[in-house]
Amino acid sequence: MPYVITEGCVDIMDKSCMEQCPADCIYEGGRMLYINPDECIDCGACEPACPQEAVFHIDLVPEELSDYTAANETFFVEASVRDGGRAAGKINHDAAIVSVLPMRVK
Interface residues with ligand SF4 (CB under 6 A) are 2-3, 5, 9, 12-17, 20-21, 23, 25-26, 33, 35, 40-46, 49-50, 52, 54-55
One-letter amino acid at 75 equals F
Closest to ligand SF4 by CB, 25 vs 79, is 25
3-state secondary structure (DSSP) of residue 61: coil
**How far apart are CB 47 and ligand SF4 at their closest, in Å?**
7
Shortest distance (Å) from residue 51 CB to ligand SF4: 6
Quote the least distance from Cβ 80 to ligand SF4, whole Å: 19
Cβ–Cβ under 8 Å, residues 16 and 49: yes
Please identify, using beta-carbon distances, which residue of 45 and 78 lies nearer to ligand SF4: 45
Rounded to a whole number of angstroms, the minimum distance from the CB of residue 100 to ligand SF4 is: 19
Which CB sits closer to ligand SF4, 23 or 78?
A: 23
Length of the chain measured in residues: 106
In the bound state with ligand SF4, the residue whose beta carbon lies nearer, of 37 and 78, is 37
Taking the alpha carbons at both ends of the chain, their separation in whole angstroms is 32
SS3 content of the chain, % helix, strand, coil (to 5): 35, 10, 50
CA torsion, ordered 40, 44, 50, 55, to nearest 10 deg = 60
